[in-house]
Structure formats: C-alpha cells, structure tokens
RNA sequence: GCGGACGUGGCGAAAUGGUAUACGCAGCAGACUUAAAAUCUGCUUCCCGACAGGGAGUGCGGGUUCAAGUCCCGCCGUCCGCACCA
C-alpha cells in the first residue's frame, strides 16, 4: 500500500510552477482579466493555520478562474508598518525594520509552501520607501485638494501605546489593541476629509451587489445619515445662541431642556466661573468612554446658571444642562430634550424633575387626557400643544417647522452624519513619515515633491517611552524649503490604514516609478474578488473606498469603487485550556492527576474552555509548519475548505485534519492502484456500456456541473462533498464490465481536474500519473456533457396525505399520467386508498406525486 | 436599546416549498494482521419491534399549502456588529 509522498511532490511541483513562471501576470487587453486579492497580512512572526484559510480560498478562486481562461492577477504583499514591530523592538532590542523583514522572510516561505499562485514578482512591503514615497505624494495632493487638513481635536490617548486612537479604535473605553483605559487629550492632528464623500460612500453601497449584505449594512450604519434640523436657541440675557441638531424638529414645542456636550465651547467657558461645573466636566473626561459603557443607564447632567429662549416662543425659557451623554463630535454638540417623545430625554427629565410636555398625539387618544408615563411615545401621530403645527402629522410638522425656522433665520433643515473625518496622525516611529515641515516663519509647509521620500531614519533607539523620531538628534532638524529658516519635520507618522488604502492599486504595476501605472490599473481594477475577515468590514474597506475616490478627485485614476466583489470568511477556532486562575494554557502544559482531572504544572484544575479564535494570547494556535510537515499543504488546504461553509467559523480538530489526510491518500491510490485497468489517456469511450457504468458516467458529468456551480457561489464545502461522493462511487465501479477502465479514467480525470484548485500538487501528480504531459495548472476547466449531466431515470417520491409512502422509478420528464398510474399502483398507496378514488393528485414532474385520499 | 445572523443526529454540517440528516468526524461490530498502524466491509436521529414494518422528528407555539427545515405571525435562545447618534 503506497502512501502519497507529499514532501517530494509538493516541492517538485512548486519548483516546476516557478520555473515555468506559471503565475506571473501580464496585462493583456485582448483577454478578460480577473483580479483576486486576499487582504494582505501584517508580518507578525509566523503563520498559523487560522491565517491561511483566507489564502486557501483566494488561491482556489485564482486557480479556478485561471482554468476558466481568465488572465488572473493574484498578488501578495505585506502590511509592514505597525505597532507590534515597535513593541518587539522595545521588548527584544531588535530594530523594527529587521524584525519586520525577518518575519516577512519566514512568512513568505510558509506561504510558498502552501503552493499558492502568487505572482511574487509583484511582492510589496509597505515599509519600503519605494512604496511609502507614493503615499507621501498622495498626501500632498490631498492637502492641495483640501482633502487633508490639520486641526486641534479631542483625541483618545492610549497611555500604553503612547498614541492616539480613532474613536473606532476605542472599544469599551479601552485601546482596541493594548486594552489600556483611554484618556482624553487635546492634540493637533492631521485629518483626511472622508466626510466630503458621506453621501457618495453611502449611495454607492447600493451598487456593490457582490458584497455581503451584512457588510453593506454595517457601513451604512457607520456612516449614519440622519435628516433633521439645526435649531438656534438664544441664551437669555446674552447675545449668544446655542445651535442644536435634532431629528425631531416637530417636537420643538415639547422642549423642556437643552443639553451641551462637556466639550462644547459654551460649557467650557461657563466652567471658568463655575468650579462645580469644571469638576463635573473633569469627571466626564475621567470617566471617558470606559465607565460610560458600564453605566450605560446612568445619564447625568449639570444644571448651569443660564437658560435658553425657545426659538418659536420667546416667552418660554428652558434650563441649559451640561450632560455626559452629548457627543461633541456629532451634530452640533448640543441637543434639546423633548421628554415626551424620546426615552432618554424622558429618563433625564424624570431624574431632574423637568416638565414633560406631550406634543404628538397617538391615534385615537384624547388630547385632554393623554399623558406620558414611563415610556416616551416615539411613533407617528398628530401634533398638538404646538401652536401652528397642531393637527399635522410628524412628517408634515417636521417640514412646517423647518420652513418656519428658515424664514425666521433661526435654523435650517439639514442632514447629519455619524461618520467623522479620519484622523491619520500617529505618534509612532514605525510608520510612514508625514511629509510636512514646521517653519517658524512660513508655518506648516509641505515637503517639496523633489525631496520625497521623507525616509525614516534607521538609527533610532527604543530605550525611552514616546516617539523616537522626536528625540532623534538630527533627523527632524531641517531648513525650511521655502525660506531656509531652521525648521523641524513633522514627527508623526501615518495610521497604517493609510498603506492598506491603496496597496491593491500598487499591485497592478508594483515596480512602477509612480504610485501605479494608470493603464495597468485601468486594466486590472477593480478587484474582482476581494477576500478577508469581517473584522475589516468597516474601517479598512470604508477607508479604501474613500481613498480611491480621493485619488479619483486628484486625477490619479477614473475609478470610485475598488472592490467589485467581496467575500468575508469566518474565523478558525480551536479548543482552549484555562486553569482555575483563568490563565490560558498551551495544550502541552496540561496534564492529568490520578483521578483523571486535568491539571496544570502547579496542580491547579484545568478546564477545556470554549472554542476561541486562534490567537497567540489564547495559546491555542496550531502552527502551520507543523501541519505542513506532518500532512502536507494539500491536506491542510482541503481541511480548511471542506469542514464548514466558508463564511462561517471553522473548528480546527485533529481528527478533521486526519480525515483530510486519509482522503488525500485515497485519491492517490485511485490513480496509483486503479480498480480497473485504465486505457491510455485520450482513448475513446466505448459505445455499449452496462447500465451501472452509464450511471457512473452520469454521476461524473453531474459532479462537474454541480462543483462548477458550487465554486462560483463560494460553496466550497459542498463542492468537496460532491467530489467525495463521486470518489465513493468510482471505488465501487463494476471493474469486470467491458469498458469499466474507460469509465473509470473519465471519472478519475474529472476528480483530478476538480480538485486542481483545492489540492494543486496532488492534482498535478495524479494528472501526470494518468499520462498527461501538460500541467493541470495550464489545463482548462472541465465542461460537463449536458446530456449526461441530466438523469434519464429519476426516482420520484410518492406521498399520501403528505406522508412519504414509497418511491417510483420513471424516465426523466415522464408524462403526469404515467407518474400518477405508477404511484397508484404501489401496494402501499392502494392499501391506504382502500378502494376509494383519491380526492386529488398533484404531480410535480421528476420530483413527487402527492395523493390526497 | 438598535441592527443583523443563526438555531437540523453524539459533533462539523447537506437539503431551487417536493424522499430531512448528503458529505465528513466520532463511535460500535467485523475482515486483513503474530500484533499494532494503515486499509476494507457493515451499522449508527429517536421510540416500539426479532424481522417486516409502524410512529415521532429540523429551538417553542400557531398559520398558509396537496406538501414547510425552507414561507407568514408570535415567542425562546445563541452569536456578531453598533451603541448615550439627539
């Protein structure tokens, strides 16, 4: 019994593909292109099996489309800037550049061992000046176009990483990476004006019909468009006014208070003369976003000394609060509260004893009696207690108030978005330098294009906290390029989402002297199939969509949407172990005591915890090299594709990978020790075959058809199941029948070609063993014989009163009468009918005969 | 709280409204073997039954239909995303 020698074969075929340069892509306008891209990895060290699910799927798509005749671009690169490199530098006294390039070298070999069809001539690493110089130029272009700007803003300060986090990167008040509690600080920051494309980014989601609905919805919610009005409330006894944004201008007459964000200009200025308010604001800052999550229900306000005048009724005044739940970054940083028709406002009003004035009457209620209890009324109704609005519906009242406010110049109808501009400044070393210079005379000036790139200095130390660029002895000191005054460079670097926002364009012409060759980009773009984790559903994908538009506006390319098709794959989960101290343990750290109870080295009880995403911190990673050494790349690829639907999470199990390994060997035996003697490759199929052999041929062609369909629809697990079914059937071939060898060859060849995108090395070896000179990587995708792919004989179910009572065999597309007759002839059916005529018979051709007794 | 997804054997999971549990994992029994591994064969939703067969069955309760895992209404549960968004 021969075992499949994956070690020899995988190396052999990988070098054969290399020598033939099989996977180098060349733009060719005469051929249809297909750009398949997996989200490029951060070179964190070593790959584990969880990382490669994504690449296995991408490679399957690339090989499948290639076989279908597309000119495929399938590149790979490295998202090489980022904080872990600096952390490693601090922890291990190794330079980030060295740490990164060593990781890249390791991971490149790992990926190559997986046998993926990457065009390595296009490999990029974003930390190379030849890459990042182009984004420095882009930034200068954005600056000139008004798409980049600098302003002071409240930022989330991560004290562990010494860096600023975007709001999106703060999770439960903690840094999304470090987990440190985030503080608030005021800092001058560079921003990209993503909000200039609010409407477009939202509207174009509708056109992304090959994106998962879920991702589109998440982006829609993230952009968060809401229609409403800006309303001006004058402040009593002063010339000032507070601008408020509301989505419910129709409830303006129900206003009973104003609430300002603690960071609102007015709140800040009031605090100067009000120590208690200053303390309240400080408290809000201290709580930050962290405890707010814990005390989600705790809405607190501070009543200031001032009052606001109702914009439509100068005789009414409402108190002005500073409240911990009003966001400075959304709307105008101030709201009016209408407790009767907003639950949060109602809670606030009850807490501070404020008036609750209902102004929307629910259908069928008596205006004289209607009162609000514990629940605000937020549905549609008819305006009342509202002067000129009385009798109008909510929608009508919104419009009427808007018109009145506009006429009085006390406000206007407007649209607010939740989306905020993208802060791109990071106080870090290992990132792309922001190409500006701070001149004492000229102010902030761009670095002249001829001076690009601004390269990171290599000679830095990590022996002190903070940004090494800041304390570098010479790097930041330059003469102003415009007036020659002694000046300093910007020491902030870009958010690493900057690099990943255009790398897919760079791949189109990875060695071009410009960011990307326009003709190449216009040939290859957009990406036809992008594949990555759903964790990037909002940030990376939204930034890339914005960036592409920004480049379009700056004349780089005529393209708005970079990714025509998107697939988000599930995570790979693995069992975890935790001891009684809730520390994660490696499997090898777990033993058992004499009672069979699992324990750790210190004798603490160990429990098998829930399945978790593979991660170093949970100590449940399965090393890719171990798996490839033990089972080979094809086995790993098969398992990653076969066990769960691709969009769902996959549980990694030892027995599962074992099962895939068994199947690899079974396939190999099928060609190395065929069940019937195979005629030479290319032999004609004999004419007269036994029915069992014809059935086998039918199954072969049907499998080609269904697998093709499954691959088109990303149903890889189903495709594997179909191929296994065919394998099972081929194993049972009646080998003694005349023509069995020819039928077996046809079946085996189909299997070999169908597994080509999944297990490429094995497929090549099988194909060669079957006597083919051509590589399967260059062979076309099989096409089923349509006549054979359809059954000529079908099994039709027979139901009586909705219950299955038997089956009948009929020729395909048999007449309804014939089916009916055969069904009624079944003894079971006759018995149940008991001689009576059926009330009704429903015949669905080729499927079912349903008899109603 | 809002939005979304999901709920099927011991487990991962299949199933254009038409034979529920394909394919695989695990388990059990057997063959081969000195033995083990590997491989092969058979069984494996539950209940009754020796078999034949019968009954129940896709989280729960209703409904539409000749026919519902699938469609509709109402619950329950799990997971994910967002969250003082005015």
pLDDT band at A368 (very low <50, low <70, confident <90, very high): confident
Peptide bond just before A742 cis, omega within 30 deg: no
In this complex, the answer to whether residue A94 has its CB under 7 A from any atom of chain B, a nucleic strand, is no
- Strands A301-310, A313-323: pairing is antiparallel
Which of residues 709-728 of A have CB within 7 Å of strand B? 715, 717-718, 720-721, 724-725, 728
Helix (H, G, I), strand (E, B), or coil: what is residue A282?
helix
Cα A648 from chain centre: 13
The whole-number pLDDT of residue A286 equals 62
Among A23-32, A130-139, A609-618, A634-643, where is mean pLDDT lowest? Answer: A609-618
CB A569 within 8 A of CB A530: no
In this complex, the answer to whether residue A578 has its CB under 7 A from any atom of chain B, a nucleic strand, is no
SS in 3 state form for A640-704?
HHHCCCCCCCEECCHHHHHHHHHHHHHHHHHHHCCCCCCCCCCCCCCCCCCHHHHHHHHHHHHHH
* For residue A193, pLDDT beyond 50: yes
Which of residues 247-286 of A have CB within 7 Å of strand B? 247-248, 261
What is the C-alpha to C-alpha distance for residues A149 and A82, in angstroms, rounded to an integer?
Answer: 23
Interatomic CA–C1' length for residue A622 and nucleotide B69, angstroms: 35
CB A727 within 8 A of CB A739: no
Task: Please state the pTM of the whole predicted model.
Answer: 0.91
Which of residues 769-828 of A have CB within 7 Å of strand B? 795, 797, 799, 801-805, 807, 828
Sign of CA dihedral A663, A665, A667, A673: negative
pLDDT band at A185 (very low <50, low <70, confident <90, very high): confident
The whole-number pLDDT of residue A28 equals 95
What is the C-alpha to C-alpha distance for residues A550 and A559, in angstroms, rounded to an integer?
Answer: 10
Q: What is the mean pLDDT of residues A698-723?
A: 95
The whole-number pLDDT of residue A615 equals 78
For chain B, which bases have at least one atom within 7 A of a protein Cβ? 3-5, 11-16, 18-20, 22-26, 38-41, 54-56, 66-68, 80-86
Interatomic CA–C1' length for residue A848 and nucleotide B55, angstroms: 23
In this complex, the answer to whether residue A735 has its CB under 7 A from any atom of chain B, a nucleic strand, is no
* For residue A290, pLDDT beyond 80: no
Q: What is the mean pLDDT of residues A439-454?
A: 94
* For residue A640, pLDDT beyond 90: yes
Percent of chain A topping pLDDT 90 = 54
**Which residues pair with residue A446 across a beta bridge?**
A436
Among A55-64, A521-530, A537-546, where is mean pLDDT lowest? Answer: A537-546
What is the C-alpha to C-alpha distance for residues A637 and A646, in angstroms, rounded to an integer?
Answer: 12
The whole-number pLDDT of residue A289 equals 45
Interface predicted TM-score (ipTM): 0.93
Retrieve residue A38's tokens: 């997996």
The whole-number pLDDT of residue A288 equals 47
The whole-number pLDDT of residue A126 equals 96
The whole-number pLDDT of residue A25 equals 96
What is the C-alpha to C-alpha distance for residues A80 and A73, in angstroms, rounded to an integer?
Answer: 21
Q: Which nucleotide is nearest to A806 (CA to C1')?
A: B19
Q: What is the mean pLDDT of residues A23-30?
A: 95
Q: Which nucleotide is nearest to A799 (CA to C1')?
A: B67
Which of residues 167-206 of A have CB within 7 Å of strand B? 167-168, 171
Interatomic CA–C1' length for residue A656 and nucleotide B36, angstroms: 22
Retrieve residue A268's tokens: 């800040």
In this complex, the answer to whether residue A292 has its CB under 7 A from any atom of chain B, a nucleic strand, is yes
pLDDT band at A292 (very low <50, low <70, confident <90, very high): very low
Q: What is the mean pLDDT of residues A326-345?
A: 85
Residue A419 backbone phi and psi in degrees, to 5: -60, 135
Give chain A's mean pLDDT. Answer: 88
DSSP letter assigned to residue A24:
-
Q: Which nucleotide is nearest to A284 (CA to C1')?
A: B84
Q: What is the mean pLDDT of residues A126-149?
A: 95
Interatomic CA–C1' length for residue A217 and nucleotide B4, angstroms: 8
């Amino acid at each position: 019994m021969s075992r499949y020698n994956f070690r020899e074969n995988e190396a052999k075929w990988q070098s054969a593909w290399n020598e033939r340069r099989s996977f180098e892509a060349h733009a060719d306008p005469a051929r249809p292109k297909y750009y398949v891209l997996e989200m490029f990895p951060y070179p964190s060290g070593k790959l584990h099996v969880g990382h490669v699910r994504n690449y296995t799927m991408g490679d399957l798509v690339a090989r499948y489309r290639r076989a279908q005749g597309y000119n495929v671009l399938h590149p790979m690169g490295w998202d090489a800037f980022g904080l872990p490199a600096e952390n490693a530098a601090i922890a291990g006294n190794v330079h980030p550049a060295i740490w990164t390039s060593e990781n890249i070298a390791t991971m490149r070999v790992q990926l190559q061992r997986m046998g993926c069809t990457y065009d390595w001539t296009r490999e990029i690493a974003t930390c190379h000046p030849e890459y990042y110089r182009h984004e420095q130029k882009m930034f200068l272009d954005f600056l000139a176009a008004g798409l980049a700007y600098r302003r002071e803003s409240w930022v989330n300060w991560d004290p562990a990483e010494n860096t600023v986090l975007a709001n999106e990167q703060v999770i439960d008040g903690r840094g999304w990476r470090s987990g440190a509690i985030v503080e608030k600080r005021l800092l001058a920051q560079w921003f990209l004006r993503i909000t200039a494309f609010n409407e477009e980014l939202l509207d174009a989601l509708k056109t992304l019909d090959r994106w998962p609905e879920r991702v589109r919805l998440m982006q829609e919610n993230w952009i968060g468009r809401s229609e409403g009005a800006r309303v001006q409330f004058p402040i009593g006894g002063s010339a000032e006014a507070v601008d408020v944004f509301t989505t419910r201008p129709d409830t303006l007459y129900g206003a009973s208070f104003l609430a300002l964000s603690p960071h609102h200009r007015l709140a800040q200025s009031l605090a100067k003369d009000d120590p208690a308010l200053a303390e309240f604001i400080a408290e809000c800052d201290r709580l930050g976003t962290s405890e707010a999550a814990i005390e989600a229900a705790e809405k607190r306000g501070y009543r200031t000394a001032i009052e606001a005048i109702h914009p439509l009724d100068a005789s009414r005044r409402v108190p002005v609060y500073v409240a911990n739940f009003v966001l400075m970054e959304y709307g105008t940083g101030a709201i009016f509260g209408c407790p009767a028709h907003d639950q949060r406002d109602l809670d606030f009003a009850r807490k501070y004893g404020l008036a609750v004035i209902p102004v929307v009457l629910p259908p069928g209620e008596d205006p004289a009696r209607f009162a609000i209890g514990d629940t605000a009324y937020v549905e549609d109704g008819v305006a009342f207690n509202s002067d000129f609005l009385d009798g109008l519906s909510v929608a009508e009242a919104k419009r009427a108030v808007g018109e009145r406010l506009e006429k009085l110049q006390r406000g206007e109808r407007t649209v607010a978005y939740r989306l905020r501009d993208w802060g791109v400044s990071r106080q870090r070393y290992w990132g792309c330098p922001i190409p500006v210079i701070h001149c004492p005379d000229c102010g902030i000036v761009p670095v002249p294009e001829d001076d690009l790139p601004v390269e990171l200095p290599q000679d830095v130390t990590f022996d002190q906290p903070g940004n090494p660029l800041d304390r570098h002895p010479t790097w930041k000191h330059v003469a102003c390029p415009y007036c020659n005054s002694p000046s300093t460079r910007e020491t902030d670097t870009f958010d690493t989402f900057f690099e990943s926002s255009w790398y897919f364009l760079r791949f189109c012409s990875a060695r071009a002297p410009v960011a990307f060759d326009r003709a190449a980009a216009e040939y290859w773009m957009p990406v036809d199939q992008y594949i990555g984790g759903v964790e990037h559903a909002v940030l990376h994908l939204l930034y890339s969509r914005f960036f592409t538009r920004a480049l379009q506006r700056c004349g780089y390319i005529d393209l708005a949407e970079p990714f025509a098709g998107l697939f988000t794959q599930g995570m790979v989960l693995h069992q975890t172990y935790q001891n009684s101290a809730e520390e994660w343990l490696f499997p090898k750290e777990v033993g058992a005591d004499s009672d069979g109870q699992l324990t750790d080295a210190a004798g603490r009880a160990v429990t098998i915890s829930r399945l978790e995403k593979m991660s170093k911190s949970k100590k449940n990673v399965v090393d890719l090299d171990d798996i490839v050494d033990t089972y080979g790349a094809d086995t790993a690829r098969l398992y990653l594709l076969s066990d769960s639907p691709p969009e769902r999470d996959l549980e990694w199990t030892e027995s599962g990978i074992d099962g895939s390994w068994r199947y690899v060997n079974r396939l190999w035996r099928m060609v190395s020790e065929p069940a019937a003697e195979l005629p030479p490759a290319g032999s004609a199929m004999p004419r007269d075959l036994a029915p069992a052999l014809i059935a086998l041929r039918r199954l072969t062609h049907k499998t080609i058809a269904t697998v093709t369909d499954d691959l088109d629809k990303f149903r890889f697990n189903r495709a594997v199941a179909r191929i296994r079914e065919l394998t099972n059937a081929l194993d049972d071939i009646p080998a003694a029948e005349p023509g069995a060898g020819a039928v077996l060859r046809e079946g085996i060849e189909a299997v070999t070609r169908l597994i080509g995108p999944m297990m490429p090395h094995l497929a090549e070896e099988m194909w060669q063993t079957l006597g083919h000179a051509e590589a399967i990587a260059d062979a076309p995708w099989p096409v089923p014989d349509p006549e054979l792919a359809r059954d000529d004989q079908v099994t039709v179910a027979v139901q009586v009163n909705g219950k299955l009572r038997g089956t009948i065999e009929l020729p395909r597309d048999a007449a309804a009468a014939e089916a009916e007759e055969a069904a009624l002839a079944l003894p079971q059916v006759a018995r149940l009918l008991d001689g009576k005529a059926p009330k009704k018979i429903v015949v669905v051709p080729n499927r079912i005969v349903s008899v109603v007794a």
